[in-house]
Amino acid sequence: MTDMPPLFRDERKLTYLNSEGADRPLISPVPPEVLERARAYRLGRFREAMAKADVAALLLYDPINIRYAFDSSNMQVWTAHNPMRYALILTEGPAVMFEFRGCEHLNDGLPGIDDLRNSTSWMFMAKGDKSPLHTARWADEITELLQEHGGGNRRIAIDKLDGAPLLALQERQLEYVEGTELTELARSIKSADEIKLMRWTIRVCEAGMARIYEHSRPGVTERELWAHLHFENARSGGDWLETKLLTCGPNTNPWYQECSDRVCQSGEMISFDTDMIGPYGYCADLSRSWTCGYSSMTDRQKRLYSTALSQIDHNLALLQPGLSFEEFNAKSWRIPARHVDYRYSLALHGVGMADEWPVVPLHVDFDEGAMSGQFEPGHVVCIESLIGEEGSESVKLETQVLITEDGTERLDSFPWEEV
């Protein structure tokens, strides 16, 4: 894929390829002490939020929250829909990790874990008609820990839990507190060390994007292009891709079609959204669009692309600490009528170890149901744009931005197209 004359390629993009060579993974330069400080900060954020909410404990089943609290990772995609491992953090007591039997060693050296135990599964797939028995055993163990360390406080915050085990805790006089608000708000403020870890995920993502660009030649399928991002992420220590959003030509409109075996044709727009959970568990959520075969854009493609970039630039310029979501919406870029029916519903969203709070709708969809709040230093948000119209392709652009004390800083730098 290197025989295309340089005149037709943007050599800036290819500089993001692995400088060590295409046959080698990217090796993180982040010092170990950065990760150690980030771990301590994250667990501290949860404990501070727990104390503020006046709960005795925080029960975590979401693998993203477990990774955030302990940096403990084990089959995260599988456990996202199979509740087989969990964590319990006591506000005035130990932090307990409940791990699969036989996987205890995966938690070796993790400083935030005070007590490592085997998990008790109550899931029907694993326990069948004996699920009620195991649910009772599970609930007894959780209750005993709260009685021992809760100081009489029986309030327990929980991020996600099925109905039967939740009822079992309530039968034991524990008071359920919604834990998702607690965890989302705690995770939303990133430390300087977290930003260093996120920068490395973005570096790996941009190397994957460069591989997509390098192979954006006529005759390649959408799936083949998407595989290059998987490859770079996996070999460089990343985790998974949350979606399969890479399409070309007519498949770009309407948006949200997943990649297929369609063959990309010369001059067609290739548009994608990375949604990549990379090294250290952080998310790189970036979108780009360019033409297959490095051809010049048509007048229509240029107009769509310029409109999308105008949205990104306008909304980026608005962001500052202390700006409310309502104020942002009032000043945000207005989508032209011809593109409204093909719009993206979000103006921006938070991002950390995955997409996070907050979510600010596009002005067309901003109503009394939109969340309140304001941007604060340490927030990381992704500014979105999707521009299409009747009979056109779609251009998808997105950039990842840190809110600083005095403004913003873009964390990604992969070049936009020159139109």
Contact 335, 418 (CB under 8 A): no
Average pLDDT over residues 260-277: 98
pLDDT at 6 over 50: no
Q: For residue range 116-145, what is the model confidence (pLDDT) as tens digits?
A: 999 999 999 999 999 999 999 999 999 999
Contact 386, 365 (CB under 8 A): no
Nearest CA-CA partner of 220 in 244, 241, 247, 243: 247
Compute the chain's Rg from CA coordinates: 23
Q: For residue range 335-382, what is the model confidence (pLDDT) as tens digits?
A: 999 999 999 999 999 999 999 999 999 999 999 999 999 999 999 999
Nearest CA-CA partner of 125 in 162, 97, 158: 162
* C-alpha–C-alpha distance, residues 320 and 408, integer Å: 7
pLDDT band at 21 (very low <50, low <70, confident <90, very high): low
Q: For residue range 154-204, what is the model confidence (pLDDT) as tens digits?
A: 999 999 999 999 999 999 999 999 999 999 999 999 999 999 999 999 999
In the chain, what percentage of residues exceed pLDDT 90?
96
pLDDT at 5 over 70: no
pLDDT band at 4 (very low <50, low <70, confident <90, very high): low
Q: How many CB atoms lie within 10 A of CB 297?
A: 20
Structural domain boundaries in the chain: 32-188, 189-410
Q: For residue range 212-247, what is the model confidence (pLDDT) as tens digits?
A: 999 999 999 999 999 999 999 999 999 999 999 999
Q: What are residue 397's phi and psi, to 5 degrees?
A: -130, 150
pLDDT band at 20 (very low <50, low <70, confident <90, very high): low
pLDDT band at 1 (very low <50, low <70, confident <90, very high): very low
Contact 281, 67 (CB under 8 A): yes
pLDDT for residue 8: 74
Q: For residue range 38-93, what is the model confidence (pLDDT) as tens digits?
A: 999 999 999 999 999 999 999 999 999 999 999 999 999 999 999 999 999 999 99
Q: How many CB atoms lie within 10 A of CB 148?
A: 11
Which CATH architecture is the domain 32-188 placed in?
3-Layer(aba) Sandwich (3.40)
Strands 287-291 and 269-273: antiparallel
pLDDT for residue 68: 98
Tokens coding 211? 């591989």
Question: What global pTM score does this model have?
Answer: 0.95
pLDDT for residue 334: 98
189-410 classified as CATH 3.90.230.10: yes
User: First CA to last CA across the chain, in angstroms?
Assistant: 24
User: Bridge-partner residues for 386, per DSSP?
Assistant: 396
Q: What angle separates helix 192-214 from helix 32-53, to the nearest 10 degrees? A: 120
pLDDT for residue 153: 98
Q: Among 23-32, 103-112, 364-373, which stretch is predicted with the lowest mean pLDDT?
A: 23-32
